[in-house]
């Protein structure tokens, strides 16, 4: 979705999905840590295994940021509350504003560290991914009765045309498209997925479609490494579809979002329950 979209806070997500944050919290807490210089260094499924913030080069700093996210998730903090709680900690750690930072290769670079804008991105992306991972785990437990998944977009002026075109499209839960386009599909994406019974699909007059022959992957450029001149790339998934007017349109995930958050979360939770 467009970068100007209003952030979705945990209370909004709970109201939308009817969820308590337990499974979302499990997803967030299950991650390890990874130190990265650029966001392009860790893409897609890697985010399920490790928590990272570009240019947060110390584990104690990453731990403080993740701890603040866990508190925001548990307590339903708004973005404003999250920033108010975390900013003093980051300032005391020296991770705020523009600074010259020396990377692991000993090269100095003027970079943007903490800022309200960066904290908004950290808050929105991590909490949305956590809730979507929890939502997906719930839906995977009910595929016997609710085997059809419908893509739902927020239909306002900030919605990307390609996301709007997917609104109301129904695929089976095991269609390979969900491995790539289960939201969020980009920064500040507000899309979601709902599970439907066969009867609900018929009652709503919906049609179950398939991604077969319409799904593809391609490699896109994500920027140039300022130090080496290397052009960075990422793989994204596309789907050829049509909008409400019948116009052909192509949906593409954003680089770094080419995966379904929380893949394997349902199995992990089952193993924990069995162990208990």
* pLDDT tens-digit map of 88-140: 999 999 999 998 877 667 777 888 899 999 999 999 889 989 989 998 999 99
Tokens of 130: 């956590």
Return the pLDDT at 3: 40
Return the pLDDT at 1: 44
At residue 11, does pLDDT exceed 80? no
Average pLDDT, the chain: 86
Which span out of 22-31, 108-117, 144-153 was modeled with the highest average pLDDT? 144-153
> Where a domain ends, among 134, 153, 175?
134
Return the pLDDT at 270: 60
Q: pTM of the prediction? A: 0.82
Return the pLDDT at 16: 46
List the alpha helices (DSSP H) in the chain: 10-17, 22-29, 46-49, 59-75, 79-92, 116-140, 161-166, 178-181, 198-203, 265-275
Residues 96 and 141 in one domain: no
CB 223 within 8 A of CB 208: no
pLDDT single digits (tens) 195-225: 999 999 999 999 999 999 999 999 999 888 7
Residue 24 lies in a domain: yes
Backbone angles phi, psi at 238, to 5 degrees: -120, 160
Least confident range of 5-19, 124-138, 213-227, 247-261: 5-19
Residue 3 lies in a domain: no
Residue 270 lies in a domain: yes
At residue 8, does pLDDT exceed 60? no
Q: Tell me the pLDDT band of 13, cut-offs 50, 70 and 90.
A: low
> Where a domain ends, among 113, 134, 155?
134
Domain count, the chain: 2
Return the pLDDT at 41: 81
| pLDDT more than 70, % of the chain | 88
Return the pLDDT at 269: 62
For residue 234, what is the enclosing H or E element? strand 231-242
142 DSSP assignment: T
213 DSSP assignment: T
Return the pLDDT at 275: 59
At residue 226, does pLDDT exceed 80? no
Q: Can you give the residue range of the structural domain that contains 268?
A: 137-275
> Where a domain ends, among 119, 134, 149?
134
- Segment 24-38 shows an average pLDDT of 87
């Amino acid at each position: 979705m467009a970068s100007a979209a209003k952030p979705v806070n945990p209370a909004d997500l709970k109201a939308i999905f009817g969820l308590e944050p337990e499974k979302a919290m499990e997803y967030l807490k299950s991650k390890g840590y990874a130190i990265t210089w650029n966001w392009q260094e860790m893409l897609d499924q890697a985010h399920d295994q490790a928590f990272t913030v570009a240019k947060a080069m110390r584990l104690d700093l990453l731990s403080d940021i993740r701890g603040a996210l866990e508190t925001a998730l548990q307590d339903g903090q708004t973005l404003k509350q999250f920033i108010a709680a975390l900013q003093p900690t980051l300032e005391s750690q020296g991770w705020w504003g523009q600074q010259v930072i020396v990377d692991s290769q000993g090269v100095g670079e003027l970079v943007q560290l903490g800022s309200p804008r960066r904290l908004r991105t950290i808050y929105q992306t991590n909490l949305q991914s956590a809730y979507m991972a929890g939502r997906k785990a719930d839906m995977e437990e009910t595929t016997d009765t609710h085997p059809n998944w419908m893509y739902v977009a927020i239909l306002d002026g900030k919605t990307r045309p390609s996301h709007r075109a997917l609104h109301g499209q129904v695929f089976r839960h095991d269609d390979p498209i969900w491995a790539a386009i289960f939201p969020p599909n980009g920064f500040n994406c507000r899309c979601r997925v709902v599970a439907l019974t066969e009867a609900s699909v018929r009652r709503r007059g919906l049609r179950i479609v398939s991604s077969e022959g319409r799904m593809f992957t391609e490699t896109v450029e994500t920027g140039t490494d300022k130090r080496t001149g290397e052009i960075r790339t990422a793989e994204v998934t596309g789907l050829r579809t049509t909008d409400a007017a019948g116009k052909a349109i192509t949906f593409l995930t954003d680089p770094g979002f080419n995966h379904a958050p929380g893949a394997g979360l349902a199995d992990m939770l089952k193993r924990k329950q069995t162990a208990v």
